[in-house]
Structure 1
Amino acid sequence: MPIINFKKEKIAVEIPQGTTILQAARNAGVLVESPCNGMGTCGKCRVKIRGNEAVLACRAIVTEDLAVETLEDKTLNNTLKIHSEGDSFTYQIDAPITKRFDGVKTQVYLRDSLLTIEEGDTENQCYGLSVDIGTTTLVSALINLATGEELASISALNPQSLHAQDVLSRIQFASKDQGLDQMYEEITSELNRMTAELCSAAGIERRFIYEAVYSGNTTMIHLALHTNPESLGKYPYTPILKGGAFVRASDYNLEISQAGVIYTPPVISAYVGPDITSGILAVRLQDVEGTVLFIDIGTNGEMALSRNGELSATSTAAGPAFEGMNITFGMRAGNGSIEGFEIHDDGAVSLQVIGGGKAVGICGSGLFDLVGELVRLGIVTENGRFANPDTLRLPQQLCSRLKEFQGKIAFEVAPDIYLTLKDVRQVQLAKGAIRAGITALLRHQGVAEEDVSQVLIAGSFGYHLKTRSLVDITIMPKSFEKKIQFVGNTSKSGGKAFLLNQRFPEEMKALVKRVNSVELANLDGFERLFVGCLNFKE
């Protein structure tokens, strides 16, 4: 059998002939980023063989002994820019976890159930975690359960995204026992690392953390609780976990108190998960008057609509383009990524680069701005093509940015960074999915776009977007322009509310049962609607 030698890692592995380099790397424990899970679409798994020959690891079949050099990927860094704060509301602190000192020992309760007994007086040391498990990012906050104070917060890349970027590829990867084990172990290890850092920052012992609230989409919750997500990927899309329950943290290797628990908010559907339940709670969507749209723009575009408290919800698979994946020069929101882009009247271009240094790629918010500006000025046409520079009445210094790259016309964003026609197509597919989801949900509920009184954009990614960019690329209708409010990471702030008031778990469990879950694939004409939403026009 051939032997592959991973030079940088100094690891050699023997593999069956016909194995891909990517699979060999996974077998050897060598990290080769593959956000599309080996489908050959993202182009992020490039490695070098035979000196300088660059190949896609997921497509390179091994037939002989081979030396492989993994490439340092600019998207793998520890400078990710993740917004962790979210809107919330005022509520009474009445946590389900309480402690009582009897003069000798301290009793720890979950509601009326005794969890454990501790020697001495530890009554003033009672903490919980609000954990937002996103498809791409993780955010965890350490909360004092007696006072409600947030003592520390930390964010990180979800390590699962290095193997499978979007929800569907994550389901496929984890449907096999080996893949599920890897996904579970990676996220558990990362959450434990984050917890250790939080405890160090706050100067507390992790044994005094008694509850963690896991908010995330339905697939992420299955993976974090070591539950096979296969049923989420095929009809009738039935989640095994329904949420709304406490489980023992020690059963899932979460390193908090041995008596600690994990709570997951109620699941709305296979693709509308506890992150949206937490978000609904955080903004009190059920109490808002008028017609309000709540939406988390990302790889799994989840949304909920409230009509004077009557809720309906759906999701639409936007894919990983908005996270910078599947884009030629795309990257996550770390140092060197373009997060803002503006074209001035004289044709000059302004870039906002995370870290302030040289631009090396484009992250999701920068991609929104970039395509939005090009559409606004007609450089990208309504059908997603680059316009003929000779037909544009624009400054020459701007038109000259349309130049040949890899044999085709592309737009030069910055030195050695281009936006290609393929990239524009990826944006069209992602934005078309979100816009079609919004339109379909409104139509299904008999709501005209003009009748929506408020649009709440949730999520860390959504917080960095600009209203003008959302409207320019027509992901949002023009009628929404002055109604948009960015509410931040409501998955985390809603999780905090679950930690601090024992009434909310029961309230939201009852509410979720009343939510009308809309399956877009079952709606007549949805495919036609999606195709119609691909163009950059109203």
Structure 2
Amino acid sequence: MGSVKVTFQPENKTIEAQCGETLMDVASRGNIDINNLCGGQGVCGKCRVKILKGKVKFLSKQIGFLEKGEIESGYMLACQTEVRDEDIEVFIPINSRKEEERILTTDQLLNYGAPAPLEKGPDFVKIPYFSPLCQKLYLELSEPTLTDSVSDLDRIYREIRKRLPDFQIQAHFSVLWGLASLLRKNDWKTTATLHLRDLNCPHIRNIEAGNTSAQNYGVAVDVGTTTIVAQLIDLRTGTVIGVEGSLNRQARYGEDVISRMIFACTRGGLQPLTEAVITTINSLVQSISEKARISMEDITCFVASGNTTMTHLLLGLEPCHIRLQPYIPTANRFPPFQTAEIGLKGHSKALLHCMPCVSSYVGGDITAGVLACGMNDQPEVSALIDVGTNGEIVIGNSEWLVCCSASAGPAFEGGGIKCGMRATKGAIEKIILSGKKLEYTVIGESKPRGICGSGLIDLLAELVAEEVIDQRGKFIQFDHPHVRFTNEVAEFVLAEGEETETGEAVVVTEDDIANLIKSKGAILAAMKVLLENFDMSFNDLQHIYVAGGFGAHLDIEKAIFIGLLPDIPKDRIRFIGNSSLAGSRFALLSSHAFAKAEAIAKQMTYFELSVHPEFMNEFVASLFLPHTHMELFPSVEQKLNQRKKVSK
């Protein structure tokens, strides 16, 4: 069948399409991003577009997300609308466009001393902290003679052993190609590139002419589901040269890992997803290198951390069985990859090392976080929390570590919320409610478009404190000026249509509140289950480390008030920023630290909450603000009681 033209506005970009293609697929081919939480499954309703000209095929799955008036006005879901045999023009509304998200490129882990030894005993080789995974050694070899007639390779080994006497050195076969000529043409002066991931047996991956030891750089990468951050690091000094972050280009295939697994295993295959993440990383590294005036050929080593699905997609590994019971990944620990094999730009013989995962839903980003915060080196019991669609939690100390993944859902990232959105321009992020007076702060100092996770937590806490809703999340103050009913559903109006950029009111409905309570309840219940397996309570936690971009903008007091975080002294709770990136950097700068990360992953015991007998009971008990058992939240109970006395 012949092709037709699809013009997208406001980009004014025209793309050729075939009959039967969805508008989402056409936009993706044209590098036009449309919000797409579900990967084209038609279950999120976030990809609304308006047909300005032409006719399209309307798939019935979208009826549940669009009102009759919207359909009559030409609104469709891009993933559920197919091209017919005529040219069309499509408008992408503001709420359906992707905006640059605030990307966390820093961490609060400023100091990191030498890690404790992994084991004790005379056979353990102690490695100093600063011992990068990839090192360059400049060698001035003695010329062979009749009395010194060892081979060229043995001559290199001999010289390296003078620097590293405790190691057995091996060379990759490719270094032998042209080695004889290279040494003799360059007066036996050469530079060897060694990778030290195997602490007992460093590998020579490259031999270069002359002294190139000053040009040796590595890249630490946080491969997040939503965003990717890369740091360029001088491996001679450990100095961070630059850092860049951007949205993960995989997002066009689905906002969460489940959607991307479905796409990879059913719809579009694995290759587009792998290409998207590789392209994102390459563009970041190229940008940093150009700003620093560094050749990408001088990048010899990458260390990446991501959840288990993101790691599989990065390496081009099939992720299909991660989401199917019994939830088995292809691998949890990954051999080094030659970057050229998967398309990463750097030296042709550079290696990619991925941080080890624990299970299908506790990945290398969590291993990196444990390494970075050092909870595995502390005698006190600590918790690491990374709040997202899957809330990963680790609890333990230097003697034991347990972990789990709580299916919190996408509410804190704007999914399943009527006016929810990510922390991008136009998102309401901070809220103060005092009686009838409402104040809010918007990201980018623009007109509001919706509300993001931190704003939702603020609102939930304020509504309870002001008794606009009860502790079940039900509206009780119906005469409040910001409370109204739409289609018989109660909702709280944050901004009327004339105040917003879209012309539509930003509201939070009673159904939205129920979704938020379920999300926060899953996180708290998971922590409680892990602790109770060791006869412990929240009070036994000496530290809670909150990782990731969401935590960086979280109000601790309000998070405790709604029961997302346990009621412990606030000075025990610390935001540690992008701990996934920090852990990757530590592993890049220390072969010892990478070995420690592998030991941490092996040490962690994974709890599968879906089959845990107590989790559902704890989850149900957590569906209250802050909790059914108020004795767990004494400070919140005190504030609520004080409020009731004042109101009387």
Per the alignment, residue 47 of structure 1 pairs with 49
What count of residue pairs does the alignment treat as equivalent? 527
Per the alignment, residue 96 of structure 1 pairs with 133
1:408 aligned to which of 476, 480, 489: 489
Residue 409 of structure 1 aligns with an amino acid whose one-letter code is A
Per the alignment, residue 92 of structure 2 pairs with 71
1:34 aligns with 2:36: yes
Measured against aligned partners, the alpha-carbon deviations of 1:239-298 in whole angstroms (never above 9, x if no partner) come to 112225321111110001111011111111111111111111111111112221111111
Measured against aligned partners, the alpha-carbon deviations of 1:414-439 in whole angstroms (never above 9, x if no partner) come to 23311122322331232222122212
Per the alignment, residue 291 of structure 2 pairs with 201
1:101-500 alignment to 2 at 5 Å? 101-102=138-139, 104-111=189-196, 112-176=202-266, 178-243=268-333, 245-344=335-434, 347-390=436-479, 399-405=480-486, 408-415=489-496, 416-479=505-568, 481-500=570-589
Larger Rg: 2
Residue 45 of structure 1 aligns with an amino acid whose one-letter code is C
TM-aligned CA deviation for residue 332 of structure 1: 2.1
Provide TM-score, normalisation by structure 2: 0.77
CA gap of 1:201–1:94, structure 2 versus 1, over 3 A, is same
Q: Is the 8 A contact 1:132 1:138 kept in 2?
A: yes
Worse overlay, 323-332 or 55-64? 55-64
Residue 407 of structure 2 aligns with an amino acid whose one-letter code is A
**Helix, strand or coil at the partner of 2:568:** helix
TM-aligned CA deviation for residue 139 of structure 1: 1.0
Measured against aligned partners, the alpha-carbon deviations of 1:426-459 in whole angstroms (never above 9, x if no partner) come to 3123222212221222222322122222211111
Per the alignment, residue 393 of structure 1 pairs with none
Q: Is the 8 A contact 1:75 1:332 kept in 2?
A: no
TM-aligned CA deviation for residue 360 of structure 1: 2.1
Residue 99 of structure 1 aligns with an amino acid whose one-letter code is K
Taking the aligned partners of 1:57 and 1:520, their CA distance within structure 2 comes to 35
**Helix, strand or coil at the partner of 1:7:** strand
Residue 484 of structure 2 aligns with an amino acid whose one-letter code is K
Worse overlay, 287-296 or 493-502? 287-296
**Helix, strand or coil at the partner of 1:267:** coil
Q: Is the 8 A contact 2:38 2:254 kept in 1?
A: yes
Taking the aligned partners of 1:436 and 1:61, their CA distance within structure 2 comes to 43
Taking the aligned partners of 2:96 and 2:34, their CA distance within structure 1 comes to 12
**Helix, strand or coil at the partner of 1:411:** strand
Measured against aligned partners, the alpha-carbon deviations of 1:306-345 in whole angstroms (never above 9, x if no partner) come to 145311111112222212233222222222222211223x
Q: Is the 8 A contact 2:28 2:252 kept in 1?
A: no
Residue 192 of structure 2 aligns with an amino acid whose one-letter code is Q
TM-aligned CA deviation for residue 167 of structure 1: 2.1
2:590 aligned to which of 492, 501, 505: 501
Q: Is the 8 A contact 1:329 1:419 kept in 2?
A: yes
**Helix, strand or coil at the partner of 1:351:** strand
Q: Is the 8 A contact 1:47 1:68 kept in 2?
A: no
Unaligned runs of 5+ in 1: 391-398
Q: Is the 8 A contact 2:102 2:424 kept in 1?
A: yes
Q: Is the 8 A contact 1:471 1:481 kept in 2?
A: no
Worse overlay, 66-75 or 356-365? 66-75
Residue 105 of structure 2 aligns with an amino acid whose one-letter code is S
Q: Is the 8 A contact 2:33 2:97 kept in 1?
A: no
- The higher-RCO structure (CA 8 Å, 6+ apart) is 1
Taking the aligned partners of 2:622 and 2:19, their CA distance within structure 1 comes to 46
Taking the aligned partners of 1:66 and 1:381, their CA distance within structure 2 comes to 53
TM-aligned CA deviation for residue 55 of structure 1: 1.7
Q: How much identity, in percent, do the aligned residues show?
A: 31
Root mean square deviation, CA, Å: 2.4
Measured against aligned partners, the alpha-carbon deviations of 1:466-517 in whole angstroms (never above 9, x if no partner) come to 1022112211232364531111111111111100111122222233222211
Residue 190 of structure 2 aligns with an amino acid whose one-letter code is K
TM-aligned CA deviation for residue 183 of structure 1: 1.0
TM-aligned CA deviation for residue 121 of structure 1: 2.5
Per the alignment, residue 395 of structure 1 pairs with none
1:14 aligns with 2:18: yes
Taking the aligned partners of 1:480 and 1:202, their CA distance within structure 2 comes to 44
1:523 aligns with 2:612: yes
Worse overlay, 354-363 or 143-152? 354-363
Provide TM-score, normalisation by structure 1: 0.91
Residue 147 of structure 1 aligns with an amino acid whose one-letter code is T
Taking the aligned partners of 2:27 and 2:270, their CA distance within structure 1 comes to 17
**Helix, strand or coil at the partner of 1:479:** coil
Worse overlay, 440-449 or 226-235? 440-449
Per the alignment, residue 161 of structure 2 pairs with none
**Helix, strand or coil at the partner of 2:357:** coil
Q: Is the 8 A contact 2:34 2:97 kept in 1?
A: no
CA gap of 1:62–1:162, structure 2 versus 1, over 3 A, is closer
TM-aligned CA deviation for residue 386 of structure 1: 2.1
